[in-house]
Amino acid sequence: MRGWLAAMLIALVGMGGGAAGMVAGCATRDDGSPGDGRRVTKLPQPGPELSQELMIALAMARNYHHKAEIYLKEARIEQATTAVRQVLSIQFPTGSSEGEDIELDARARLAKLLVPQGKLDEAMAVVNEGIARAHRHSFFLANLHSVRGEVLEARAAKLAERDKGQAAAARREAIESYDQAIQIEKALIEQLSGGEEAE
């Protein structure tokens, strides 16, 4: 009987802790975000312990990237694109920071592979979807903004002869993307240097 009481007490405490963690998580996600809900004023905190599930997902993503490397060495760009696209279908643990970083990086690489194939719209869609799904600022998000600028540059170049106005608009948008990337990088560098000084 005493054991049951203890188990119930522990369960209650656990449930309370979980609820508190959920509340705290929601509060953390909401605070300090400049409009889009992403943290830039605070160093990202360590999450749960590394799990086997996460390591398997990372290993799978790594294998797909290496597979794409081999295709690129053989100038088989379409197969390389397919291999990188498969990284996006990997299921990372929910809320995993590494999962988000890997996805953003894979989208950047995928867009860079689509541009030479002339698939600018698809490249832009891949990039925009990644930016929209990001939960926090990171160097990977900054890199994706940077790739978005490249895609816009390619679009501007393509439109230069047909429509100079749209080409100019694309160039301006590209500059904005690069500026966005620079801002994110600056903020992150400051955070990281501040964190190192604090340590």
Partner 1 sequence: MSRDDRDLPGELDQDQPVTPAEQTRAEAFGKWIDALSAGEPLPPAMDSDDRALLETASMVLASSRAVDLEPERARRLVDEALENAMVGQWPPADSRSGEHHLGTAPRGLTGRALGRLSGSRAVPPEGDGDDREAASRSSTDLVLSGRRRADRVLRHLPWAVASLAAAAAVVLFVTTHKHDRKGQAPVPPVAERPLRLQVANTSRPADPLIGPIDRRDAGGASERLDILFADRMDGYRDLVLRRALRVEEP
Question: Which parts of this chain interact with partner 1 (CB under 8 A)?
Answer: 44-52, 54-55, 58-59, 61-62, 65-66, 68-69, 84, 93, 96-98, 101-102, 105-106, 108-109, 112-113, 136, 138-140, 142-143, 146-147, 150, 185, 188-189, 192, 195
For residue 141, the minimal CB distance to partner 1 (Å) is 10
Please say which residue, 110 or 170, places its beta carbon nearer to partner 1. 110
Compute the distance between CA of residue 187 and CA of residue 63 in angstroms, rounded to an integer. 32
Contact 28, 37 (CB under 8 A): no
Q: How far is the CB of 30 from partner 1 (least distance, A)?
A: 18
Q: What is the CA radius of gyration of the chain?
A: 21
* Dihedral over Cα of 131, 109, 185, 178: its sign: negative
In terms of CB distance, is 87 or 170 closer to partner 1? 87
Number of neighbouring beta carbons within 10 Å of residue 44: 14
Judged by CB, which is closer to partner 1: 136, or 171?
A: 136
The least CB distance from residue 148 to partner 1, in Å, is 10
| Those residues with Cβ within 8 angstroms of residue 146's Cβ, 6 or more apart along the chain or in another chain | 108, 177, 178, 181
